Amino acid sequence: MSRTLPPEYYELLEELQAVDFVLVELTLYLDTHPNDYNAIQQFNHFAKQSKQLRKQYEELYGPLMQYGKSYSGYPWNWDDAPWPWQV
């Protein structure tokens, strides 16, 4: 019932977490610095990188988001363990 995830899973997950963390930091920064052109360019650069990593992650380990923000496999694989607190 539960498959053990390979070390590559944790590696890819952390890569995505790192890129998404930069986006969180830049988001809060831009909320108070809306005219920082360099920061906006950096934000868009990382947004693109995050999209690419998500695509790669979801092809291997299933959807990250719901309500149509991610594609589903067959059968419906949103419910598949592990959930974030279980890995």
* CA–CA gap between residue 80 and residue 66 (Å, rounded): 13
The residue within the footprint of another protein, chosen from 6, 14, 52, 71 (CB under 8 A), is: 14
26 exposed, middle or buried (CB, 10 Å; 0-12, 13-18, 19+)?
buried
Task: Decide: is 64 part of the binding site for another protein (CB under 8 A).
Answer: yes
Residue closer to another protein (CB basis): 74 or 85: 85
Binding site for another protein (CB under 8 A): 10, 13-22, 24-29, 31-33, 36, 38-39, 46, 62-67, 69, 78, 83-85
